[in-house]
Each structure stands twice: as structure tokens, then as C-alpha cells.
Structure 1
Amino acid sequence: MTRIVDPSFGVQLRELRAARGLSLRELGLAAYVSKSQISEYETGRRRPSAEMAGYLDQALEADGALSALVVESHTDDDATNRIAHALAAPTSVDAETVESLGRMLEQQRHLDDTLPAPMLLPTVEGHLEMVQALARNARGPHASALRLVATEWCQFAGWMNGQVRHDTRGSKLLTDAARDALDLGAPDLASQSYNFRGYIERRKGNARGIVRWFMTAYETPGASDLHRVDAAVQAVHGFGLLGDHKGAQNLLAMADDLSTSVGERSGNVSTRYYWLTPAWLRLPIGLAHLGLGNYSLAADSLRAGLDQLPESWRKAEWSAEYRNALTRAETAVA
């Protein structure tokens, strides 16, 4: 079982306790734990279970505020045992262990669609350190597959750091991931790593950086059409911000040509890029039109893209960028 605890849990617990006028001992009695345990929760020295968060919620009449800060995702026992064995003997990693680690990463990717990035990031970073250590020491026929999983984890950690504006850390991880992906013959992974570098530059408001990294993603040799279309339309946004509308329109036309084959091939894209669908592309296309000043088209595309997101994704932290862009486009049209 993977336990994810929001870093703010201890602070919020202390604030709720203070608001109720309870001492450590009094809250401990109400929640059936020792005062030292309450202190450890407040200082972050101990991570509460979801069950304990529920007890504390009840004792503090917090209406689920603390329970919302603890998520437990279940990993099957066999996978847990295999990973533990691999950590003890990293030179003997087998195919099943690599698959187990891949499933764990996939699980965390999907949690990114529902949990706040600051809450998930410490777990992602901890697992990245573990998997990279395994990959460094791995030998045998499955070492290359393990290194690929470690590279995917590095990319995901880079993306997560970008979301919380740890720009330097995120950029380094994504640069490392792109380099290793190319070495391992994984062009889509490299392209997406460059793509996420572009995302970081967009968060900075750096139009030249947007163009640089999304064009690098677009031009990655061997990248699939879907990745290239996604990168191209996001580069268009940067060209538009720079005032290069001719370059933007030319690239948009090339992206449109590529997109004719995407509908037929998108089903072949790896599940590691599960979000990258023709429907999702309405979002970066909306940003492209926003950069070009085509506000009505931008609003239509962004609205369509957001409406087609799964319900659970619509309040995801990463989707706020597109919601804000829609607001800007609609305001400009009004």
C-alpha cells in the first residue's frame, strides 16, 4: 500500500486543535492515541493512516478536512514483495518486478489527475530515488527495461516539479529524462520530456523558451505523429506570443496535415500517454489560437477540450491553466 499524505497535514492538524482549544493530551484522549503520537503527526515525524485521519476528523469535528489530506492506494502483495526483494538484491531484478514498478508509476500518474501536486510530489520523489538506485545497480536481461521505467519516473517527477514551480529541479529532471530516453531508443518519451520543458517555460511566461522546447519535442526523430501534433500546436502558441504569426500559421498548417493521420493511429499510442488523445488536443489548439489572438476560436477549442475531459480531471491542478486560458479568451471576445 502506498500512503500519500499532504505535507500540510501537520500544520492543519495543529491549527484545528488550537481552534478547538485542545491540548495534545486532550486530543489524544479524544482520538484514542497518545499525546506524543499527536505531536509526531503535527511535526511530520509520523505519517497518519487514512483511518487515523478519520478519527482525528471526528475528534476535532473537522468535517473531513484531515481525511482529504491522506490517500492510500493499494498495491498488490506480490508486487510489494517483488519490489522489496529487488531492493535487497538489485542485481537480480526480474521481468515481473519491472512490470510491478511500471504499474506503480501508472497508478501515480492517474493520481496526478485527482490529487494536488504538492500532496503527491513527495511520494513521487521518494519512489524516483528508489527506482534510480535499482536501475544503477541492475544487471542481466531486464536491466534495460528497468532503466526505461526509471527514465519514465524521472520524466514524471520533472513534470510534477514543474506543476509546483520547482522550475530548476523540474528542468534538470526533464533534461536527464530526455537524454536517457534517446539513449534507450524511446523517442516518444524523449519528445514528451521536451514537451514538459516547454510547459515549464510557459509557466514562466518565456515565449522564446516555449518555442525552443516545443519545437525540440516536435523535431524529435522517431516521435509519433500524435506527439508531434501536440508539440507543434503548443509551439504555435509561443510563436504567436513573439508576434511571428507567419511562422505560427505555417506550423499550424503542418500540424493540421499531421493530424489527419492521428485519428487512425492514436489507438496505438502507449498507455503511458493515456491523456494524449485527439479530444485532449483541443486544449493546446485553444492555447495556440489564444497566442495568435484568435479569441473566438480559442474559446471554442478550449471549451470543447475541457468539456471532453473525464469528470475527475476537470478540477485537476494541471487543468487550471486551460480553465484560466478559457476565461481570458471569453473576456477578450465579450
Structure 2
Amino acid sequence: MIEVAMLTREVTRVDYSGAPPVNPQRFTMSDFADLARRAIRDSGYSMKAAARAMNYDPAYLSRVFSGKQKPSANLAASLDALVGADGALAATVLNEDEESRVARSAANPSRLDAGTVDALAGVLAAYRRLDDTVKPESVIPATVTQTKEVTRMLRGARGAYRDQLAEVASEWVQFSGWLFAQVRKDAAAVGLLNDALELADEIGNGTLAAQALNFKGYIARQQNRHQGIARWFSAAANTPGAHPAQRIGDFLQAAAGMAAMGELDSALRMVEEAEGLTDKAAALPPPETAYWLTPAFNRLNMGLCTLELGRYREAADHLRSGLAGLPEELRDAPWSWEHKDALRRAVAAA
């Protein structure tokens, strides 16, 4: 955890002022090298063993892992398959056109174009998917770098696409906060989520604002602070512009906090509010910035809520169904461990 602690201090010292020193190579070599090296290690491979498994020259692999050579598309795909990242690792690398666009925008952020924003959003989407299969500690270093690069670009951005880049930047900052929350670097996580919230408010994006508040509720739950759980999830549920699927999950998790404090009437009213949003949420796809908010995922939230209400059999049913309903690639994600533990407690108490 020493490395993570050092990165935490680095994040809290980020200076967004001055000309944005964005380096497109960050998106093609250095960060991919770091992600791939850590993913290989987490999967139990040495570099030589990985080279043998993929039938690649160890010297070539060494150059890629050290950030001295850009990975070929075939190598990126092979590494991805080796660690079981389901395409996410390979998708963190920009293609030539995307790299060229990012380079132009890096050199002159005032002439930011839509292609650059799309490219940076695509890298972020890949990182989010990678978080579902790789340990958060292994995603943090490259994420910190990416977040600093994108927010610095935003500092100098002008024109019609500036707000779109602000959305992507808010997501990057929020994602960094989420990763730090997972490894219990709570102070750094809260600071990042506050920054993400400010960016979301600046552009009036209720979905992003609600998600940042949701993650603050998650931190409160890890700290076993019931009042904080109720406060932050309630704030998320009542954020203007929040998606109905977000509001369902947030009301249920706020209700869990209220129930834990003995405020059962308030908790049950929140459950009713969540249930009243079911049809509205079902009529809409999940928000792109919170793609995991499916009906199955909200069964998990209902499970956490009914567990705190003392309805143990009902909680076990919701948690069991929610876990079974997750896509296969998400069933062993580190964030799912909390729900698996809740299921064990519900079964034991039933």
C-alpha cells in the first residue's frame, strides 16, 4: 500500500494551473505499459511466462512494458486475452487518428474538437471496464496520470466542445475518487469526488453530480457512519437531473442508513419512493456514466436495505438474485464483495 499512499499525496497536490502539458503518448505507451504490467502480475505471470504464453519475444515485451515501444494491436489483444480483461485493456490504447487528434488539441486546447473528446471518453470507458476485472490498486497509477492530463487540457479548452470535455473530466476525477475509495484512501477519495461534483455542477449535469454524491455515500458505508450514509445517498436521490435508476438505488441505500439509525418510518418512506420510480426507470436505458445501474444491480441495493430493516430472508433473496443477474464479467468485480458479504450475513441471520 506504500505506492498507493504516494499516489494519494500526488493527487492532493495536483496543480491545474498553467498551460496544459498533455502528452498523447500517455494514452498509447506509458500508461498502457503500467496497466499491462500490473495486470500480468495480478494474473500470476512473470514477464517471461507471459511472453511464452503468448508466443512473443520477451525482449519486445520488455520494451512495451517499460514504455519504450508502442504495443501492436495484436499484442494488446493478446495481453488482454491473457489477463481476461474482455477487451478493456486493449481499448485503453488510442488508434493513430485518435492519437493525432489528441496531439493537436494538446498543443492548442482552444481548438478542441469533438474527436478528441470522443477519444478521451473512449479511454475512460475502457478504464471503467478494466476496473471490473483488475484490482483497483493496479488501475490507480495510470488513472491518476490520465486524470491530471485531461483536467489540464480542460483548463485551456475553449469553444463549442469545452462543456463536453468538462463532462469527461468530471467522470475521470470521479472515477479516480471511486478507485481511492475502494482501497480505503478516504480523504483523497472525498477530495476528488468534491472536485468532480463541482465540475458536474458547472455544466449542469445532474447524472454526474448524483453519482459523485453516491460514491460519497459508499465511503460513509465503508466507514460504518449511518448518518453519512443517509445524508449522501439522500442528497444523490434528490439531485436535479438524476436518472430514475440512480434515484432508485440512492433512495434504497439512504433507507438502509436510516434503518440502521432506527428511523424505520423514514426508511420505509424512502423504499416507497424508490418503488414508485420502477416503471420510469424501466422505460429508459441506464445512463452511460453509470452503465451498471440495471434492475439486477438495484436488487443488490434492495438487499442492503432489507438487511438493515431486519428482513433477512427477503434480503437474501434480493442479494442472491442481484448477484446472479450481473453480467458474467462483473460477478467477481472487487465492488461485488460487499454484496457477497451482505448475503452471507443475511443467510446467517435468517
Name the structure 1 match of 2:130: 111
Matches within 5 A, 1:298-317: 298-317=315-334
Task: Output one character per residue of 1:45-90: Cα deviation in whole Å (capped at 9) or x when no partner.
Answer: 7789989xx9xxxxxxxxx9xx749954443221122112222222
Once residues 138 and 186 of structure 2 are traced to their aligned partners in structure 1, the CA distance between those partners, rounded to angstroms, is 17
* More relative contact order, 1 or 2 (CA 8 Å, 6+ apart): 2
Partner of 2:245: 226
| Equivalent pair of 1:132/1:150 in contact (CA under 8 Å) | yes
2:184 equivalent in structure 1: 165
Aligned-pair CA distance for 1:227: 1.4
Corresponding position of 2:25: none
TM-score (norm 2): 0.77
Q: Which of these two proteins has the greater Rg computed from alpha carbons?
A: 1
Give the whole-Å Cα distance in 1 for the aligned partners of 2:312 and 2:136.
30
Counterpart residue number, 2:261:
242
Q: Deviations over 1:95-151 (max 9, x none)?
A: 111111111111111111111111111111110000000000111221121112111
CA distance in 2, matches of 1:237, 1:50: 47
Q: Report the equivalent of 1:278.
A: 295
Deviations 1:163-182 (A, max 9, x none): 11111111111111112212
Distance 1:80 1:331, change over 3 A: same
* 1:5 and 1:119 in contact (8 A); partners too: no
Question: What's the offset of the Cα at 1:10?
Answer: 8.3
Q: CA deviation at 1:11?
A: 11
Instruction: Give the corresponding residue for 1:213.
Output: 232
Distance 1:75 1:295, change over 3 A: same
Question: Which of these residues, 144, 147, 152, is aligned with residue 125 of structure 1?
Answer: 144
Name the residue aligned to 1:59. none
Number of residue equivalences: 299
The residue matched to 1:281 in structure 2 has which SS?
helix
RMSD, matched Cα: 3.0
Shift of 1:12: 11
Mapped partners of 2:280, 2:209: distance in 1 = 21
The CA distance in 2 between the partners of 1:230 and 1:137, in whole Å, is 36
**1:323 counterpart = 2:346:** no
Amino acid at match of 1:289: T
Indicate the residue corresponding to 2:109 in structure 1. Answer: 90
Q: 1:11 to 1:291 in 2, by over 3 A?
A: closer
Match of residue 156, structure 1, among 175, 179, 197: 175
Where does structure 2 lack aligned partners over 5 or more consecutive residues?
Answer: 1-27, 48-56
Q: Deviations over 1:298-322 (max 9, x none)?
A: 1000000000001111111111111
Structure 1 runs of 4+ aligned residues shifted over 3 Å read: 5-13, 44-51, 67-74
| CA displacement at 1:294 relative to structure 2 | 0.9
Q: Equivalences for 1:23-102 in 2 at 5 Å?
A: 68=83, 71-73=89-91, 74-102=93-121
Q: Which amino acid in 2 is paired with 1:148?
A: E
Give the corresponding residue for 1:23.
none
For 1:223, the aligned partner's letter is: A
Give me the whole-angstrom Cα distance separating, in 2, the residues matched to 1:295 and 1:162.
28
Q: Which amino acid aligns with 1:176?
A: D
Please state whether the residue corresponding to 2:247 is helix, strand or coil.
Answer: helix
SS at match of 1:276: coil
Secondary structure at the counterpart of residue 280 of structure 1: helix
User: How much identity, in percent, do the aligned residues show?
Assistant: 34
Deviation at 1:91, TM superposition (A): 2.0
Q: For structure 1, which runs of at least 5 residues remain unmatched after alignment? A: 18-30, 55-63
Amino acid at match of 1:273: A
Output the CA distance in 1 between the equivalents of 2:126 and 2:84: 18
* In 2, Cα distance between equivalents of 1:115 and 1:10: 11
Deviations 1:155-206 (A, max 9, x none): 1111111111111111111111112212201011101110010001111111
Q: 1:215, 1:231 within 8 Å by CA — same for their partners in 2?
A: yes
CA contact (8 A) 1:198 1:210 kept: yes
Q: Which amino acid aligns with 1:206?
A: R
What's the counterpart of residue 263 of structure 1? 282
